[in-house]
C-alpha cells in the first residue's frame, strides 16, 4: 500500500469464467470497475479475461502477483467443481490452502441465518454444510474481504513484488460493493477528485492520418498528456466524425488542448461540439 508520497499504482482487472467467453453472460464488471475508479479519481490500467482453466488462471495470477499492480479478480471463488480461483491463487504463490478462521465464522453465521429463515434447525455437521466451509479455504496469508450481501467473504493477498490482489465472487451484487470497500479501505490516499480530465472536439470530414502529425506534436510538447482520436462512422448524434482530444491532469489538459486547437487551424476543418469529461 503506498504512502501519500508514493506514486499512484496501476489498477488491473481479471474476469474469470467460461460463461463470459462463451457469451452466455455479458461481463458487467469492466464498466463498473472503471466507474468505481473514476469516482475516486483513478483509472484502469489493464484488464484480462480468462476461462475456467486452472493452468491459464494460475499463469494469469502469477503474472499479476509479479506485476506490482493493484488487481481485482472476479469469479471462481465458490466451492463447485468449476471454481478454481482459490486453488490457482495458492498455486501462483506456492502456498497451501487453509481454512481462514474469520471466513469460517462468517460462513457458519450465514448458514445459521439461512436455517433460521427457513425455520429448520442448524446442522453444522450435515455434509452440505461441511462442504460450504470450502468457500473459506484461502491461500495461506490471505485476509478477508467482507461481503455485505450474504456474509460469504472474498479474500486479498499481497504479492512478492508489492502487488495487491483482491478476489471477489462473479456476482455483481456481491463483487461491486466488495470492490468499493477495498478501494476505500486500502487506497483512499490515492484518491483525487481533480486527477483526470478529457477535453476534445468533434471533427467532421477529416482523416486520422492527416491529423496524426498534430497529435504527435501535442504529445511531444506536453509530456504528461495523452492525445486520443476516436473515429466513428455511424454515431446516432454526430454521424461520421473523429472525436479528437487530450486527457490528463486538468491544468495540463487546458494548455495541451489550447495548442491542439491552434495547430488544427491551418487544416480548415469543420467542427462539431466540444466535449469535457471529468
| Domain ranges across the chain | 11-190, 197-277
* CATH of 197-277 among 1.10.3470.10, 3.60.15.10, 3.40.640.10, 3.30.70.2860: 3.30.70.2860
Contacts of 252 (CB under 8 A, 6+ apart): 222, 224, 225
Rounded-to-integer distance, Cα 249 and Cα 193, Å: 11
Predicted TM-score of the model (pTM):
0.78
Rounded-to-integer distance, Cα 62 and Cα 84, Å: 14
Q: Would you say 30 and 66 are in contact if contact means Cβ atoms under 8 Å apart?
A: no
Q: Dump pLDDT digits (tens) for 245-275.
A: 998 888 899 999 999 999 999 999 999 999 8
Q: Dump pLDDT digits (tens) for 69-103.
A: 999 999 999 999 999 999 999 999 999 999 999 99
Q: Dump pLDDT digits (tens) for 110-129.
A: 999 999 999 999 999 999 99
- If you search the block for the grid coordinates 509530456, which residue do you land on? 223
* CATH T-level topology, domain 11-190: Molybdenum Cofactor Biosythetic Enzyme; Chain A (3.40.980)
pLDDT score recorded for residue 136? 96
The SS3 of residue 267 is: helix
Name the pairing type of β-strands 11-16 and 70-74.
parallel
pLDDT score recorded for residue 193? 64
- DSSP per position, 60-105: HHHHHHHHT-EEEEES--SSSTT--HHHHHHHHHT--EEE-HHHHH
Using only C-alpha atoms, what is the Rg of the chain? 23
Whether 11-190 shares its CATH topology with 197-277 is answered no
Amino acid at each position: 500500500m503506498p504512502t501519500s508520497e508514493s506514486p499512484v499504482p496501476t489498477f488491473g482487472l481479471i474476469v474469470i469464467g467460461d460463461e463470459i467467453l462463451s457469451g452466455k453472460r455479458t461481463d458487467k464488471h469492466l464498466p463498473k470497475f472503471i466507474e468505481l475508479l473514476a469516482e475516486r479519481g483513478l483509472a484502469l490500467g489493464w484488464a484480462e479475461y480468462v476461462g475456467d482453466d486452472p493452468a491459464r488462471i494460475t499463469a494469469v495470477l502469477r503474472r499479476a502477483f509479479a506485476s506490482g499492480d493493484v488487481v481485482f479478480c472476479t469469479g471462481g471463488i465458490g466451492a463447485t467443481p468449476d471454481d478454481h480461483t482459490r486453488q490457482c491463487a495458492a498455486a501462483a504463490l506456492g502456498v497451501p490452502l487453509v481454512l481462514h478462521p474469520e471466513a469460517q465464522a462468517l460462513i457458519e453465521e450465514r448458514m445459521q441465518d439461512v436455517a433460521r429463515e427457513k425455520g429448520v434447525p442448524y446442522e453444522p455437521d450435515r455434509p452440505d454444510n461441511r462442504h460450504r466451509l470450502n468457500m473459506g479455504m484461502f491461500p495461506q496469508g490471505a485476509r478477508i474481504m467482507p461481503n455485505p450481501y450474504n456474509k460469504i467473504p472474498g479474500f486479498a493477498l499481497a504479492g512478492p513484488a508489492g502487488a495487491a490482489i483482491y478476489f471477489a465472487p462473479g456476482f455483481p451484487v456481491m463483487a461491486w460493493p466488495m470492490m468499493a470497500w477495498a478501494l476505500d479501505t486500502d487506497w483512499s490516499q490515492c484518491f483525487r477528485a481533480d486527477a483526470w480530465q478529457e477535453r476534445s472536439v468533434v471533427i467532421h470530414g477529416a482523416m486520422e492520418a492527416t491529423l496524426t502529425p498534430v497529435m504527435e506534436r501535442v504529445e511531444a510538447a506536453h509530456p504528461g498528456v495523452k492525445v486520443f482520436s476516436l473515429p466513428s462512422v455511424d454515431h446516432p448524434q454526430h454521424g461520421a466524425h473523429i472525436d479528437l482530444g487530450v486527457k490528463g491532469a486538468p491544468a495540463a489538459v487546458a494548455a495541451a488542448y489550447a495548442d491542439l486547437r491552434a495547430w488544427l487551424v491551418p487544416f480548415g476543418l469543420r467542427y462539431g461540439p466540444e466535449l469535457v469529461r471529468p
